[in-house]
Amino acid sequence: MIKFDAVNKRFPNGTTAVHDLTLEMPEGGITVLVGSSGCGKTTTLRMINRMVDPTSGTIRLGGKDVLEQDAAELRRGIGYVIQQSGLFPHRTVLDNIATVPLLLGWGRKKARARAAELLETVGLTAEAGKRYPHQLSGGQQQRVGVARALAADPPVLLMDEPFGAVDPVVRTQLQDELIRLQRELNKTIAFVTHDIDEAVRLGDRIAVFRTGGHLVQCAAPAELLARPADDFVADFLGAERELKLLSLTTLAEVPLQRATTVREDAPAPPAGSGPLLVVSARNEPLGWLDPSGTDAAPLTPVRPLRDTDTLLAALNESIASPAGLIARVDADGVLTGVTSREAIHEHAGRRHQEAARAAVSLTEATALSKTPGGTV
């Protein structure tokens, strides 16, 4: 969908912001651009909608060179979201969202109806639509920014640190919302951040840049984490990159074992029978009971996990659990079984090896395709 071919950007003051960039951003996917401050992420993004023009090289959107298109027309097909949301302070939230449809001549009624629909899409109430931007929290303003960018249903979204100015809890919520929205909307998204955790959560592909506008590696998150191309990328990913990889894998394929349970209203179990999972009449896990403890000992809390939870969450829970077991439930919260810390660990190790192997075969395929006469 978006293709950079040998693109350079040198500003008149002599700064090279982007150096010989060749990169593809696939249709319907989120490509995240990461790297430390000043490495050219924003400039790369802005060259897509021609807020900045490249010094050399070609950028194609849907096969067409962006420089051969009228900038205003090009931007109609590209939504743009920035960190400070960029809302007009003297217009209501609803009118802010309706901005682009109005510019496109939709008529006030149709534009407002679309804006109202989008308010709901991004999780805001109709009442919020009547307020002015300063009457909303930072997180809500960012949602409005996303709604405004989506108003004319552009196939492409450029998002420049859109969640950078909100606290970590709201940031996670906004990321969840974007993941949910993207499942429905399937936009081609270029997303800039300097937060590697955000990149791993959101990206279908992650492009890592270093100072001077150099692209160092572009790969799917699991491949990047399992096989960073060099020490720079490894440092950028951080020391816990194996744990980050666990956040990309769900529990679904990890085998279940039968749980030893006791009903909450049952008589006290015999001492010495090891930790038991106390369940409700509906078979919902309530806590761990250690019969070797005193009668008055409280239950150890349990946080039941579903198949959609990550291996990282499972490992975390298994550390706190008395016997190293995690309780697993179905979508209704009913117990399906337990899984041991060892089983989680073994699956995590296998997952790591698979990701590393996938990354190696990709690297080999790329090397082969660059060899004259090489075939893939």
Closest to ligand ATP by CB, 161 vs 223, is 161
d(CA 370, CA 376): 10
Q: Which residue has the tokens 């060259």?
A: 47
> Which token pair is 227?
């096989």
Residue 318 C-beta: closest distance to ligand ATP, Å: 37
Residue 261 C-beta: closest distance to ligand ATP, Å: 52
Residue 9 C-beta: closest distance to ligand ATP, Å: 8
Closest to ligand ATP by CB, 236 vs 288, is 236
Residue 53 C-beta: closest distance to ligand ATP, Å: 12
d(CA 316, CA 328): 14
Determine the distance from the C-alpha atom of residue 81 to the mean position of all C-alpha atoms in its chain, rounded to a whole number: 16
Q: What are the b/e assignments for 328-367, b being 16+ CB within 10 Å?
A: bbeeeeebeebbbbebbeebbeebbeebbebbeeeeeeee
Closest to ligand ATP by CB, 53 vs 330, is 53
- Map residue 104 onto helix, strand or coil: coil
Chain residues in the site for ligand ATP (CB under 6 A): 11, 13, 15, 17, 35, 37-43, 194
d(CA 234, CA 219): 13
> Which token pair is 27?
């249709």
Closest to ligand ATP by CB, 166 vs 279, is 166
Closest to ligand ATP by CB, 20 vs 284, is 20
Residue 331 C-beta: closest distance to ligand ATP, Å: 40
Q: Which residues, at least 6 apart from 359, have a Cβ–Cβ distance to it below 8 Å? A: 219, 222, 223, 224, 226, 227
41 with 201: CB under 8 angstroms? Answer: no
Closest to ligand ATP by CB, 12 vs 373, is 12
Residue 222 C-beta: closest distance to ligand ATP, Å: 24
Residue 43 C-beta: closest distance to ligand ATP, Å: 3
Give the H/E segment covering residue 347: helix 341-370
Q: Which amino acid is at 266?
A: A
Residue 68 C-beta: closest distance to ligand ATP, Å: 23
Q: Which long-range CB contacts under 8 A does 285-293 form with residues at least 24 apart?
A: 285/327, 285/329, 285/335, 288/321, 288/322, 288/323, 289/262, 290/322
Closest to ligand ATP by CB, 38 vs 337, is 38
Closest to ligand ATP by CB, 218 vs 289, is 218
d(CA 42, CA 286): 49
Q: Measure CA of the first residue to CA of the last residue in the chain; give whole Å.
A: 22
Closest to ligand ATP by CB, 181 vs 208, is 208
Residue 305 C-beta: closest distance to ligand ATP, Å: 36
